[in-house]
Amino acid sequence: MAELIGTKMVEDGRTARQIFDEVMANPARKKFGFGAKLAIVNVDVQQAYTRTDLFKTAYETDPRQIEYINTISRLARAKGMPVIWSRVAYKHDAGDAGVWGTRTDTEDSLQNIRYDSERHRFDPRCAIDADDLTFTKRTPSVFFETPLASYLTFHRVDTVVVTGGSTSGCVRATAVDALSHGYRTIVPIETCADKHESYHFANLTDLQLKYADVEPVQAVIDWLEAR
């Protein structure tokens, strides 16, 4: 790779995980904090990304990820707060995938996740309630061209808790959009996953420094149980 001319980036040999641990141990900014009412937004907890036994595109970070997602979803639901589940898929000819679906074309490519396929199905470990909002999206952010924004407005939500995967992709895109829409944004660490450790921790660090409160899942549990 050609040398990057004119850059003066910090290169100190620390791993992404080491930087994350240091940032979390020494917070440089105050938290956004929780507001009055939150929504749990579970991003793409579908078999294409969770079933490592079935698909090469799947990944696992914390083995209890879905258990934690179910716990905070159940608690929020019991307090009358919205729970949302997204997943991604496209029609048979992938004509709705847009430019995002043009970079590769293998059986594992994004645009080859078809509606009602095994890849499209939510992970069977997900405890989805009949009253939860579920929908399919086509782009990284759960906010883009979906009913999410109007749903949150109707339910008078001021805080969005983002879980799911991948941390460096759709979780990050959704968290940035949540902040851009004016929501306090929380990302519980144990509820997010990615294929590579460096991507996972680098993006959690960036979210913590700029766009969200990156918190242990217990912080969300404690807040909900205190309501």
- Token pair belonging to 185: 């944004």
- What are the tens digits of pLDDT across the range 28-70? 899 999 999 999 999 999 999 999 999 999 999 999 999 999 9
The answer to pTM > 0.85 is yes
Distance (Å, whole) CA 40 – CA 162: 6
* Assigned CATH topology for domain 34-88+126-225: Rossmann fold (3.40.50)
Alpha-carbon distance values, 225 to 39, 70, 72, 100, 222 (Å) = 15, 14, 10, 40, 5
- Token pair belonging to 7: 């850059």
Residues with pLDDT less than 50, the chain: none
Alpha-carbon distance values, 96 to 17, 92, 119, 147 (Å) = 37, 9, 17, 17
Three-state helix/strand/coil letters over 113-138: CECCCCCCCECCCCCCCCCCEEEEEC
Give domain limits for the chain: 34-88+126-225
